[in-house]
Amino acid sequence: MTFLDQLRTAERQNGSLLCVGLDPEPSRFPAHLHGDASKIYDFCAAIVDATADLVMAFKPQIAYFAAHRAEAQLERLMAHMRRAAPNVPIILDAKRGDIGSTAEQYAKEAFERYGADAVTLSPFMGFDSIQPYLKYHGKGAYLLCRTSNPGGDDFQNQRLASVEGQPTLFEHIAALAQGPWNLNGQLGLVVGATYPAEIERVRALAPTVPLLIPGVGAQGGDALATVKAGWRGDAQGTTAPVSVNSSRAVLYASSGADFVQAARAEAIKTRDILQAAKV
Q: Give 153's contacts (C-beta < 8 A, 6+ positions apart).
A: none
CB atoms within 10 A of CB 1: 12
139 is catalytic: no
Determine the Cα–Cα distance for residues 223 and 270; give it in Å rounded to an integer.
8
Count CB atoms within 10 A of the CB of residue 26. 18
Pairing status of strand 91-96 against strand 118-121: parallel
Catalytic residue chosen out of the listed positions 95, 108, 228, 269: 95
Alpha-carbon distances of 197 from 13, 127, 194, 249, 264, rounded to whole Å: 29, 27, 9, 24, 30
Q: Are the C-beta atoms of residues 45 and 80 closer than 8 Å to each other?
A: yes
Q: How far is CA 116 from CA 56, 60, 177, in A?
A: 15, 10, 20
Catalytic residues: 95
